Structure 1
Amino acid sequence: MSLLNNPLHVLFILSMFSVLFITVLSAMDMSIIDYDLDHGLLQQARVEAQVRRMYDMWLVKHGKNYNDLGEKEKRFEIFKDNLRFILEHNSVNRTYKVGLNRFADLTNEEYRAVYLGTRVDLKTRSNRLAGKAKSNRYMFQVGDDLPQLVDWRENGVVGAVKDQGQCGSCWAFSTVAAVEGINKIVTGEHIALSEQELVDCDNLYNQGCNGGLMDHAFEFIINNGGIDTDEDYPYRASDNTCDVNRKNARVVSIDGYEDVPENDENSLKKAVANQPVSVAIEAGGRDFQLYQSVNTKQLNLIALVFLFWKALIGFHCK
């Protein structure tokens, strides 16, 4: 009797074949899984290496050097997280793009703590300005003929971009930019003025690198009889005791300032048509931290042009 004629033997052979087939199939499946895992890890390693090279190039570009290896690795992880945010943001059509700028190795909390210094104490501001005479000088009136384009840079009214460094003194830069602008318009001479004098000496209400408000800074310049040049009182990006021996030449003075009517774009345009305007903007978002450029393909209206939370220098209506 052949083995095939014996049902028990046939069943045994089929059973053995099934076991072998399942074993081989399982082995094949496991090899595929192992391959995919290895391939994925390899790809991940390649991406990690590419990002590492990108980070090293970014460090060189921005002149950053972390001697402590632990700090460098910490910054690298933050850099990667910001890169993921950038790729996700730019994958969708928006009116602006974000990118690996100088703040790309900071968390948003660190960025806000170090660089944002405008402190708007509405109660204090309201109490101090309650007795201030109101003016309708910049109130938009029907019939006002507003220009279609204003760019004070073209008239040499706005100076070069300045860097406040790791000091929350944007309020001082905003104030100085506006005063420099009106002085150029009135006298025809552009003089770089001292933000550091405001940081050090305007401390009744403002708090130096810990923040301040432009209204108080304008009041200081008025009460001081003017403000020094940047050359005589250079910027240090740090809080210092007011230099009582400073030249205090008061090379530029103002005799007043006005607040533009709130929530009125036409009044703001009217003000900017006369001179650069001091502004404070909400710059604490992560997209603002990593801002790179305007997406001109998506932007149909450019209403206001900002000089990075310093001064409103123009507008363009289309």
Structure 2
Amino acid sequence: MVEAGGGEQRCRSSLCLFFILALTTRLVVAQDGGGAVGGPHAAPGAPSAVALSDSDPGLLRALRFAEGQYNVGSGGVYLRRVTRVISASRQLVKGMKYSIVAELGNTLCKKSTSADPTTCEFHAEAARLKAEVCAFEIWDIPWLSKSTLLKQKCQPTGSNRTDPGAPSPDAHEQESVDLLSAFKEFVTKYNRSYSGQEEADRRFRIFRKNAQTARTLQSLDQGSAEYGVTKFSDLTEEEFRSLYLNPLLSQRNLQRPMKAASPARAPAPPTWDWREHGAVGPVKDQGMCGSCWAFSVIGNIEGQWFLKKGSLLSLSEQELVDCDRLDQACGGGLPSNAYEAIEKLGGLETETDYRYTGHKQSCGFSSGKVVAYINSSVELSRDENEIAAWLAENGPVSVALNAFAMQFYRRGVSRPLKIFCNPWMIDHAVLLVGYGERNGIPFWAIKNSWGEDYGEQGYYYLYRGSRLCGINKMCSSAMVN
């Protein structure tokens, strides 16, 4: 085997800072048979993120090896090397397995020379640089001085990739003016109030970085989505994750086993939307609480109750936040646990009787106020065609997904690059209410719980058919007899 050489990875793109700040904690590649990055409580041997600020010698060795193997297998004229690392994780498996997402570009050195790639400069023109994003898996056994390339998957960054050169002073000045104007509009529209000028300045800096994030998402999206300013545009990724997402969803070892759902009796019709059939209530708002799991499950039960009993009720998410002892309220939860908790409690109260507050309180459940119940719950197939067929036949489905592209989503069908939206890094639970096509682009219609001022009147539309963002990984439903 070839031992990877040393060298220092360069970061030349103007988008490098964005990726390091905004994506390092999220973008870890795993195809459908892969693993997820473990958090602080990950099991021993689970993958863990590698901080890109560290000069990790193992990561550098894996990068050089991946570059070498790429160049051996490519048919290009020029040597290519990593322009920037987007994300990296490692896992202890009789050595070290590295999962790396990186951008590669052409250098000025031709393959016919014996040049050391680490000394070769990059092409200055984007057309000749020919940047592409690659996902690598490398198994490194340093004590045997050998490495193995387990996986390699690459795709171009897109023809509309911005030039990495710095903008002219005039362009930079105009951008600052436009951003300041946009920030003022944002503050007014979303009624923001900051503690002082220092905090306002800090939020503007975050807003500026997020504007770059949205532009990059826009340039890389393969669907019809529009990204830009949203009500989350003054939050860092860490703040957004802690306030609105659900880290427990990716912890598969915490999930309660569920019985399999019976397959649908007929194939999926071309389109379906339960909003048109009365089974979906108004969009709700979870607030700054990681209770998406409760909204996903309650939305499912509201649909099931309507289909079985003929009455669309608005049921209480707060009951689950307060009384579900299997989950962690605003700290996250799992639909499988929530179903079990509802069965043990004996049912659900209405939203009117048990109002949502967005924070955990003492349990105030009253069995005398129960208006709906469930008998059991089931887990659906992971085949998207079968999910569509089951949904059309049986009602809206509780699902979970990687919310990678959702913070700055405004409208359209979202289709982020699959290698960015890791299907195992699920961190948000939502309600699947239908599916269809827009201008030839197949989509899932997803009811979110971030209020009607999010996305398209509270809905997110995700590309359907490629198991994108793990949308097929955790599909379930309550059963009402």
TM-score of the superposed pair, with normalisation by structure 1: 0.75
Question: Where do residues 101-250 of structure 1 align in structure 2 (5 Å cutoff)?
Answer: 101-117=230-246, 119-120=248-249, 121-125=251-255, 128-129=256-257, 134-138=259-263, 144-203=266-325, 205-243=326-364, 246=366, 248-250=368-370
- Identify which range, 81-90 or 207-216, moves more after superposition: 81-90
AA of the residue aligned to 1:114: L
CA contact (8 A) 2:286 2:449 kept: no
Give the structure 2 partner of residue 268 of structure 1. 387
- Identify which range, 192-201 or 93-102, moves more after superposition: 93-102
CA contact (8 A) 1:152 1:313 kept: no
CA distance in 2, matches of 1:177, 1:248: 22
Secondary structure at the counterpart of residue 113 of structure 1: helix
Q: Which has the higher strand share?
A: 2
Specify whether residues 309 and 137 from structure 1 end up closer, same or farther in structure 2 by C-alpha distance, changes over 3 A only: farther
CA contact (8 A) 1:181 1:275 kept: yes
Give the structure 2 partner of residue 302 of structure 1. 442
Specify whether residues 315 and 147 from structure 1 end up closer, same or farther in structure 2 by C-alpha distance, changes over 3 A only: farther
Aligned-CA RMSD value = 3.0
Specify whether residues 299 and 103 from structure 1 end up closer, same or farther in structure 2 by C-alpha distance, changes over 3 A only: farther
Specify whether residues 252 and 306 from structure 1 end up closer, same or farther in structure 2 by C-alpha distance, changes over 3 A only: same
Specify whether residues 317 and 254 from structure 1 end up closer, same or farther in structure 2 by C-alpha distance, changes over 3 A only: same
Give the structure 1 partner of residue 402 of structure 2. 282
Secondary structure at the counterpart of residue 371 of structure 2: coil
Specify whether residues 72 and 190 from structure 1 end up closer, same or farther in structure 2 by C-alpha distance, changes over 3 A only: same
CA distance in 1, matches of 2:460, 2:374: 19
| Equivalent position to 1:254, from 370, 374, 381 | 374
Give the structure 2 partner of residue 291 of structure 1. 409
> How far does the alpha carbon of each residue in 1:7-54 deviate from its partner, in whole angstroms, 9 at most, with x for none?
xxxxxxxxxxxxxxxxxxxxxxxxxxxxxxxxx656644432332121
Specify whether residues 314 and 268 from structure 1 end up closer, same or farther in structure 2 by C-alpha distance, changes over 3 A only: farther
Secondary structure at the counterpart of residue 410 of structure 2: strand
> How far does the alpha carbon of each residue in 1:228-254 deviate from its partner, in whole angstroms, 9 at most, with x for none?
10001100011111125x465110001
CA distance in 2, matches of 1:49, 1:227: 52
Secondary structure at the counterpart of residue 401 of structure 2: coil
Q: Which has the higher helix share?
A: 1
CA distance in 2, matches of 1:117, 1:196: 16
CA distance in 1, matches of 2:372, 2:253: 30
> How far does the alpha carbon of each residue in 1:171-217 deviate from its partner, in whole angstroms, 9 at most, with x for none?
000000000001111122111000000000002x2000000001111
TM-score of the superposed pair, with normalisation by structure 2: 0.51
CA distance in 1, matches of 2:374, 2:460: 19
AA of the residue aligned to 1:293: R
Moved over 6 A (4+): 312-318
Greater RCO, CA 8 A, separation 6+: 1
Secondary structure at the counterpart of residue 387 of structure 2: helix
Secondary structure at the counterpart of residue 288 of structure 1: coil
CA distance in 1, matches of 2:376, 2:242: 32
| Equivalent position to 2:227, from 81, 90, 98 | 98
How many residues are aligned here? 265
Give the structure 1 partner of residue 35 of structure 2. none
> How far does the alpha carbon of each residue in 1:230-280 deviate from its partner, in whole angstroms, 9 at most, with x for none?
001100011111125x4651100010111002x211221122111111111
Give the CA deviation at 1:89.
Answer: 3.4
AA of the residue aligned to 2:254: T
AA of the residue aligned to 1:211: G
Specify whether residues 146 and 118 from structure 1 end up closer, same or farther in structure 2 by C-alpha distance, changes over 3 A only: same
CA distance in 1, matches of 2:243, 2:439: 31
Secondary structure at the counterpart of residue 338 of structure 2: helix
Which structure 2 residue ranges, 5 or more long, are not aligned? Answer: 1-167, 415-436, 451-458, 466-481
Secondary structure at the counterpart of residue 302 of structure 1: strand
CA contact (8 A) 2:284 2:449 kept: no
Give the structure 1 partner of residue 96 of structure 2. none
Give the structure 2 partner of residue 54 of structure 1. 182
Specify whether residues 56 and 71 from structure 1 end up closer, same or farther in structure 2 by C-alpha distance, changes over 3 A only: same
CA distance in 2, matches of 1:230, 1:298: 34
Specify whether residues 251 and 72 from structure 1 end up closer, same or farther in structure 2 by C-alpha distance, changes over 3 A only: same
CA contact (8 A) 2:314 2:351 kept: yes
AA of the residue aligned to 1:268: I
Give the CA deviation at 1:148.
Answer: 1.7
Report the structure number with the largest CA radius of gyration.
1
CA distance in 1, matches of 2:227, 2:252: 32
AA of the residue aligned to 2:442: I
Give the structure 2 partner of residue 35 of structure 1. none
Give the CA deviation at 1:303.
Answer: 3.9
Give the structure 2 partner of residue 78 of structure 1. 206
Which structure 1 residue ranges, 5 or more long, are not aligned? Answer: 1-39
AA of the residue aligned to 1:242: C
Give the structure 2 partner of residue 20 of structure 1. none
CA contact (8 A) 2:412 2:461 kept: no
Secondary structure at the counterpart of residue 304 of structure 1: strand
Give the structure 2 partner of residue 5 of structure 1. none
CA contact (8 A) 1:150 1:316 kept: no
Secondary structure at the counterpart of residue 226 of structure 2: strand
CA contact (8 A) 1:272 1:314 kept: no
Give the structure 2 partner of residue 17 of structure 1. none
